[in-house]
Structure 1
């Protein structure tokens, strides 16, 4: 079952509709993004990307710098909107309450909870639970709810709020959901323990190492129990040893949590280690999607083959 599906997604930066259509025609005629930029002055983020990501899959998106990786992942939570295309998300996979694990932690503090811990999904797929939604059609309120209840993100440079303690950072998404302070802090402590960071809840981000900060970022993303987790070069700023440890931890957590994870990386070794399938971008175009062995044994072109030879 597909959880996310991109349909003919293109992104042309800083162009109005008529200018974008001219650029898209050049791309359709076979011109590459470098030549388009030189001729028109407009940058191509993505061109005609069609991609299906399965529910519960850890899917890696990779390519060289400027290939469109970060542009693509930011479409999935609409930090960037496309020039054209559709983005379908099956929100029926998203429960209307937090998972039993998180709900159970909250119940330990039920005497302090202001209200039942529920995820408000008004405006998102209320009428037909069997259909995916095109998230590009969401209004502001529904988009806010989608971001709160369906998708979480871990950033390359941690994205922690420096004026908040560790536990406040991890619990922030639950604060937005109006969970009581004691209940959300219990959930936050659970996830800090899960990522190997017990007993640092009163520290501030600048008191932590880079690896510890990224673990806090991962705990924050997991605390809301959203079914989709976006990770944009999440481990690339870390030294190799810490990076390998976090890769192992991510795989161990995913084995238990079974989330849909979209993982951006420029490192083929990392992609092969963590990804069930890998999609390779080049100049904003999706070149090939497959398992590591499929990409190695049947590369679509020399660009893919070079990546896989680098792994070998």
Structure 2
């Protein structure tokens, strides 16, 4: 069952619709993004991306700097709008609530999951959302963990984690209870009254992860979330993410330029180069059947 579908997504920066068409025409003829920039002056973010991300999948997006990874992930929560294409998200998919909904933890029932029938009618093109609908989509469907933590410096750790729930106008008591639970899950239960600048980089990223999980949204976007951390801390957070995902079964889109990280955490990997999607597959598929030399070089670089 697909949770996210990108259909024919292209992004040309700093160009009008008419100007973008000239760049898209050159791309369609096979010209690479660097030459398109030289000839037209317009930067290519993405070109004709078609990608299905399955419900409950941890999907890695790989590529060198400038390949379009961050541009792609920011389309899913519409921090960036495409020049052309469609983005379909099934907003009706249920989740397993047992491990992280407060009421479910208290009731301790055996109904830990709900099987959802796939219905294409529940998918929406998020590009058609108005401002109010987009705000609701961001609050209820998708959360994001940023590379440089994105914490509010004048808020305590507790307040940072509870912020998304505060926006939903949840009571202070309830949102702090949920925030406290997730701080415990990421190993920061004794730091709720600290401020971000009192924490190490690894601790700050754990706060960012707890904040994203506290809203209980089914889609989690992680843009180079661990790349700024020391190798040991990075490995610990990778392990923690996998352990949490094993219980939460969220749909996670994980951006990285590190092939070792992608192979470790990703169920499938999509390789971007120059704004184009080169290949999607399991780590084994990419290793044994690379689509081109670019993919082969990435996979052979794995330590």
TM bracket, shorter-chain basis: over 0.9
- Could you say which residue in structure 2 is the equivalent of 1:116? none
Question: CA-atom RMSD, angstroms?
Answer: 1.6
Structure 1 gaps of 5+ residues are: 109-127
SS of the residue 1:178 aligns to: coil
Structure 2 gaps of 5+ residues are: 108-118
Tell me, yes or no, if structure 1 residue 89 matches structure 2 residue 89. yes
Runs of 4 or more consecutive aligned structure 1 residues displaced over 3 Å after TM superposition: 98-101, 105-108
Map of 1:185-264 to 2, 5 A cutoff? 185-264=176-255
- Could you say which residue in structure 2 is the equivalent of 1:57? 57
SS of the residue 1:307 aligns to: helix
Tell me, yes or no, if structure 1 residue 104 matches structure 2 residue 95. no
SS of the residue 2:101 aligns to: helix
For the residues of structure 1 that align with 2:12 and 2:102, how far apart are their CA atoms? 43
Cα deviation, residue 178, structure 1: 1.0
Tell me, yes or no, if structure 1 residue 283 matches structure 2 residue 282. no
- Could you say which residue in structure 2 is the equivalent of 1:115? none
Cα deviation, residue 104, structure 1: 1.4
Cα deviation, residue 130, structure 1: 3.8
Q: How many residues align?
A: 291
For the residues of structure 2 that align with 1:32 and 1:299, how far apart are their CA atoms? 20
Tell me, yes or no, if structure 1 residue 150 matches structure 2 residue 149. no
Map of 1:12-31 to 2, 5 A cutoff? 12-31=12-31
- Could you say which residue in structure 1 is the equivalent of 2:66? 66
| Deviation sequence 1:218-262 (CA, Å, 0-9, x none) | 000000000000000000000000000000000000000000000
Pick from 260, 284, 307: which aligns with 2:298?
Answer: 307
For the residues of structure 2 that align with 1:294 and 1:11, how far apart are their CA atoms? 28
SS of the residue 1:93 aligns to: coil
| Deviation sequence 1:52-102 (CA, Å, 0-9, x none) | 00000000001000000000000000000000000000011157xx94532
Closer, same or farther: CA 149–75 of 1 in aligned 2, 3 Å: same
- Could you say which residue in structure 2 is the equivalent of 1:269? 260
Provide TM-score, normalisation by structure 1: 0.91
Cα deviation, residue 37, structure 1: 0.5
Tell me, yes or no, if structure 1 residue 79 matches structure 2 residue 79. yes
Range moving further from structure 2, 129-138 or 8-17: 129-138
For the residues of structure 2 that align with 1:226 and 1:134, how far apart are their CA atoms? 18
CA contact (8 A) 1:106 1:187 kept: no
- Could you say which residue in structure 2 is the equivalent of 1:124? none
| Deviation sequence 1:140-169 (CA, Å, 0-9, x none) | 000000000000000000000001000000
CA contact (8 A) 1:272 1:292 kept: yes
For the residues of structure 2 that align with 1:247 and 1:106, how far apart are their CA atoms? 25
| Deviation sequence 1:10-56 (CA, Å, 0-9, x none) | 00000001100010000000100000001111000000000000000
- Could you say which residue in structure 1 is the equivalent of 2:112? none
CA contact (8 A) 2:87 2:126 kept: yes
- Could you say which residue in structure 2 is the equivalent of 1:165? 156
